[in-house]
Structure 1
């Protein structure tokens, strides 16, 4: 039974909640179970040092701990709600967004990787990174989705595309899974990049994107989602992309959303392709320099 209870909470959420509880107990010195006043003081003490979204996540973790242990949830009190509202009013923050990866720098990155491959035809890292960037861009995948891709759930139709299936993802609240499709293209093709990578790495089962050590040995385990941002920034720097520190794994998703909007995709089509349920989520990923009026009219 315990294995099913554990499976009901996603690994990332479980780690995040555990970290939040440790911060409350060890770093701040709080006691559990807590009172509403304890939680309010904890939030107020970190109002100037932690982002509001982080504070809400910490409160959610504390709420989950109390519920799981059979105690009343102190975060539901009017005091805690007022403190959170006050923090949001007094410490407004303009949310930072990753710079979208546009088609021109995407081509520049792929050109760099192809030159690396030409100089070293057995460069596993270059093949992997090329497949990761192209598949991440054209599918609008997040880092966790890229790391969850398994070859068992991918079918290749040469000259047509890739049929992909993810048993679960962040947006899939019911964990029913979702099918995706990646197109075969004449240029910057994610299908060929994927085939080249798994062929050279001899991956027949298991995770698609894996760590590679200094001796060129490919791990059996998937890349950690937290490793994607430094991987991309390092790659972008090597490819001479301006200000690589402004990019993150969300740059692939934002880049595709911006490309789709520039090419006349409707908001509905973009949402269905990427898997967004909320129109506001889609609009957050579209580059601010692009007119959004055509989408807003459809909301």
Structure 2
């Protein structure tokens, strides 16, 4: 991605208007504002690197990018079978790099927009969504976990907390013990930052006790915290093969592998969140209640997250009174 120095050079008008001793801070704040969520930054960085490598191979400029160069790159992605969502993300990364450098993005060109529309039509695909699991299947899975070893305790706590809290995997990765507040009513988790809360404003999720201790997210988490035997630092850490704890924060990639290990290869860490929405809706929860936990901003997003694979599910035809 473009660097702060590139931003300062490109934004010469800003440097004139801002006092000299504030230019560096101003550039830093602007860059931070343009970045986005941490996972998005990492994805964009990889996409931008792939694009600049492609430009070097074809002896084309990458910053600023000619419209023709962008068209060639996006076309190659489409021809090699990339999903449309992946192609869109590459275009967004290129747009972001130009914004950071204070340059006009080729993605705004009408030719690019027409090209992307045509690619979408040709591919005829929509973004693949993580499937939801059934509650019965999830319960069976949780009960089957061997909690006689630390890895089992950690994984049970991760799955139960991830599901009942509708957590994103990045939120689970970033979770610290200091973010947990237990009381007789349950647990309140404070999110210091999330995908939709990038300014660090306090955001909370409520977790409740389950009458079945084997399925209780709070008791499971407390059992895991006893193994950690500390009062601060990351909640979920990686482990060595002999079940020895490390101090390394567990990555989102590993969270995904744990979900697939227990629930099946068709699921992802995002299935925890999608399943929370789906199960809640099937049990009659209204959108406002669901949004209070997921922190979605609109009912449209709740509809997008609800996975109904059976026409008989959540169907008002059952409630006609005939």
What's the TM-score once normalised by structure 2's chain length?
A: 0.81
Matched residues in 2 for 1:203 and 1:213: separation? 19
Cα shift at 1:192: 0.4
Q: Which residue of 1 aligns with 2:282?
A: 262
- Of the candidates 160, 165, 170, which is equivalent to residue 134 of structure 1? 160
Q: 1:101 to 1:216 in 2, by over 3 A?
A: same
Partner of 1:64, secondary structure, is: helix
1:37·1:79 contact (CA, 8 Å) conserved in 2? no
- Of the candidates 180, 186, 203, which is equivalent to residue 154 of structure 1? 180
1:138·1:190 contact (CA, 8 Å) conserved in 2? yes
- Of the candidates 120, 140, 144, which is equivalent to residue 88 of structure 1? 120
Matched residues in 2 for 1:206 and 1:269: separation? 30
2:54·2:73 contact (CA, 8 Å) conserved in 1? no
- Of the candidates 192, 195, 220, which is equivalent to residue 167 of structure 1? 192
Mark the runs of 5 or more structure 2 residues left unpaired by the alignment.
1-24, 318-322
Matched residues in 2 for 1:94 and 1:36: separation? 25
Cα shift at 1:85: 1.1
- Of the candidates 182, 185, 192, which is equivalent to residue 207 of structure 2? 182
- Of the candidates 241, 253, 278, which is equivalent to residue 298 of structure 2? 278
Tell me which structure has the larger Cα radius of gyration.
2
Cα shift at 1:291: 2.3
Cα shift at 1:142: 1.6
Partner of 1:46, secondary structure, is: helix
2:83·2:127 contact (CA, 8 Å) conserved in 1? no
Matched residues in 2 for 1:234 and 1:3: separation? 41
What's the TM-score once normalised by structure 1's chain length?
A: 0.87
Partner of 2:248, secondary structure, is: strand
Report Cα offsets for 1:157-197 as digits up to 9, x if no partner.
Answer: 14x21111011111224432311110111121111011000
Cα shift at 1:213: 0.8
Cα shift at 1:7: 5.3
Aligned length: 280
Q: Which residue of 1 aligns with 2:257?
A: 230
Report Cα offsets for 1:186-237 as digits up to 9, x if no partner.
Answer: 121111011000112213211111101113222223211122111221233x
Deviates most, 194-203 or 24-33: 24-33
1:282-297 residue pairs with structure 2 within 5 A?
282-288=302-308, 289=310, 290-291=313-314
- Of the candidates 16, 32, 36, which is equivalent to residue 62 of structure 2? 32
Matched residues in 1 for 2:162 and 2:315: separation? 23
Mark the runs of 5 or more structure 1 residues left unpaired by the alignment.
237-243, 295-299
